[in-house]
Chain A
Amino acid sequence: AQSVTQLDSHVSVSEGTPVLLRCNYSSSYSPSLFWYVQHPNKGLQLLLKYTSAATLVKGINGFEAEFKKSETSFHLTKPSAHMSDAAEYFCVVSSLNEKLTFGTGTRLTIIP
């Protein structure tokens, strides 16, 4: 069994300040972990993925995430928020059966 918990349903940050979106996972097997972004009425875009290689993963648009097995966490960060980062973010876990399990999402609001 696998599950994902996104600890914050809504995060607001000022433009230019750091972003932290939290995600904890549970998986019976070595998981693959993903962060996807969804802009309003759009499909999902992959930000980054963890696939059992380096634990610090760098993605697109300046985002990165660190896989911490001891904490079962995969938090998403960005040093400086931009207005275009405002969107819904989903943490996703996958294991042997290829099915993706989505977190409930975190809505990121950027304050000008």
Chain B
Amino acid sequence: GAVVSQHPSWVICKSGTSVKIECRSLDFQATTMFWYRQFPKQSLMLMATSNEGSKATYEQGVEKDKFLINHASLTLSTLTVTSAHPEDSSFYICSARDLAGPSSYNEQFFGPGTRLTVL
């Protein structure tokens, strides 16, 4: 149980194009999903918190117009990198919290990540 998938697992795109990454909770419902970014050999940095049915909450320094987040259902959140540039190349990881799980420890279940390369 508690499986999170991401699609695609890797993507290469040209500079100036937009890329959409999907995050799905396969066997549980999640009102809240999180999007992280990881640069090579570095830790994960939280980009935004995705809330089902409402606007995402972005961390300081993250451009909301560049990184569009949509959380249309209890099992799907999408991250769209608009007008991508080479500096957006990174490993993007999503996570989700089980709505039915105990709230005492805030465990998040992570997707396998999406590697984005912008040429």
Interface contact B43-A32, CB-CB below 8 Å: no
Complex CA gap A107/B73 in Å reads 37
- Residues from chain B with a CB closer than 8 A to the CB of A103 are 43
Complex CA gap A103/B43 in Å reads 7
Interface string of A5-41 (1 = CB under 8 A from B): 0000000000000000000000000001010100001
Residues of A within 8 A of B (CB): 32, 34, 36, 41-46, 49, 51-52, 90, 94-95, 98-100, 102-105
The residues in B between 91 and 117 inclusive whose CB is less than 8 angstroms from any CB of A are 91, 93, 95, 97, 104-113, 115
How many B residues have CB within 8 A of the partner chain? 24
Residues of B within 8 A of A (CB): 6, 32, 34, 42-46, 49, 91, 93, 95, 97, 104-113, 115
Interface contact B44-A49, CB-CB below 8 Å: no
Q: Which residue of B lies closest to A101 (CB)?
A: B46
Interface contact A100-B108, CB-CB below 8 Å: yes
- Residues from chain B with a CB closer than 8 A to the CB of A98 are 32, 49, 97, 106
